[in-house]
Structure 1
Amino acid sequence: MSDAEWMIRQSDVLDPARAQALQAALGLEPDAEVGTPLPPFFHQIYFWEPQPPELLGRDGHPRVGSGLIPDMGLPRRMWAGGRLRFDAPLLAGIPAVRRSRVLRAEHKTGRSGPLAFVTLRHEIVQDRVVVVQEDQDLVYRTDPEPGAPRPQPPRPQPPQARRDEAEAREVAFDATLLFRYSALTFNGHRIHYDETYARDVEGYTGLVVHGPLLAQMLMLMADSSDAPLRGFEFRATAPLMHTERATLCRSGLDAWVRGPDGRQCLVAAITT
Structure 2
Amino acid sequence: MNPAQPKQTSQSDVMDSARAAAMQVALGQRPTISAGDALPPFFHQLYFWDPQPPEGLGRDGHPQVGGLIPDMGLPRRMWAGGRLQFHTPLRTGVEAIKTSHCESATRKDGRTGPLAFVTMRHDIHQNGVLCLTEWQDLVYREDPAPDAIKPVPPVARTDEESRIAASFSSTLLFRYSALTFNGHRIHYDLDYAREVEGYDGLVVHGPLLAQKLMLLAEAELGPLTTFQFRATAPLMHFETAEFCRKGRDLWVRGPDGRQCMQARA
TM-score range, shorter chain: over 0.9
Tell me what 1:240 maps to.
Answer: 235
Tell me what 1:86 maps to.
Answer: 86
2:146 maps to which of 123, 144, 149: 149
Indicate if the aligned counterparts of 2:60 and 2:184 stay in contact, CA closer than 8 A. yes
Tell me what 1:138 maps to.
Answer: 138
Sort the Cα spacing of 1:269 and 1:225 in 2 relative to 1 into closer, same or farther, 3 A.
Answer: closer
1:161 aligns with 2:156: yes
Supply the distance in 1 between the matched residues of 2:216 and 2:32 (Cα, whole angstroms): 18
Name the Cα RMSD after superposition.
1.4
Tell me what 1:264 maps to.
Answer: 259
Supply the distance in 2 between the matched residues of 1:9 and 1:200 (Cα, whole angstroms): 36
**In the TM superposition, what is the alpha-carbon distance from 1:151 to its structure 2 partner?**
5.7
Tell me what 1:76 maps to.
Answer: 76
Question: Unpaired segments of 5 or more residues in structure 2?
Answer: 1-5
Tell me what 2:181 maps to.
Answer: 186
Q: How does 1:90-129 map to 2 (within 5 A)?
A: 90-129=90-129
Indicate if the aligned counterparts of 1:6 and 1:99 stay in contact, CA closer than 8 A. no
The Cα offsets for residues 85-105 of structure 1, whole Å up to 9 and x where unpaired, read as 101111011100000010000
Indicate if the aligned counterparts of 1:60 and 1:190 stay in contact, CA closer than 8 A. yes
Supply the distance in 2 between the matched residues of 1:59 and 1:162 (Cα, whole angstroms): 33
Supply the distance in 1 between the matched residues of 2:22 and 2:79 (Cα, whole angstroms): 23
Tell me what 1:54 maps to.
Answer: 55
Q: How does 1:191-210 map to 2 (within 5 A)?
A: 191-210=186-205
Tell me what 1:44 maps to.
Answer: 45
Tell me what 1:231 maps to.
Answer: 226
Counterpart AA for 2:168 = F
Indicate if the aligned counterparts of 1:152 and 1:204 stay in contact, CA closer than 8 A. no
Indicate if the aligned counterparts of 2:7 and 2:68 stay in contact, CA closer than 8 A. no
Indicate if the aligned counterparts of 2:37 and 2:92 stay in contact, CA closer than 8 A. yes
The Cα offsets for residues 72-120 of structure 1, whole Å up to 9 and x where unpaired, read as 1101000000000101111011100000010000011111100000000
**In the TM superposition, what is the alpha-carbon distance from 1:249 to its structure 2 partner?**
0.1
**In the TM superposition, what is the alpha-carbon distance from 1:225 to its structure 2 partner?**
8.9
Tell me what 2:20 maps to.
Answer: 19
The Cα offsets for residues 228-259 of structure 1, whole Å up to 9 and x where unpaired, read as 11110000000000000000000000000000
Supply the distance in 1 between the matched residues of 2:220 and 2:33 (Cα, whole angstroms): 16
TM norm structure 2 = 0.95
**In the TM superposition, what is the alpha-carbon distance from 1:6 to its structure 2 partner?**
6.0
Question: Unpaired segments of 5 or more residues in structure 1?
Answer: none
The Cα offsets for residues 111-165 of structure 1, whole Å up to 9 and x where unpaired, read as 1100000000000001111101000000000135xxx525666xx2011000000
Counterpart AA for 1:23 = Q
Indicate if the aligned counterparts of 1:151 and 1:201 stay in contact, CA closer than 8 A. no
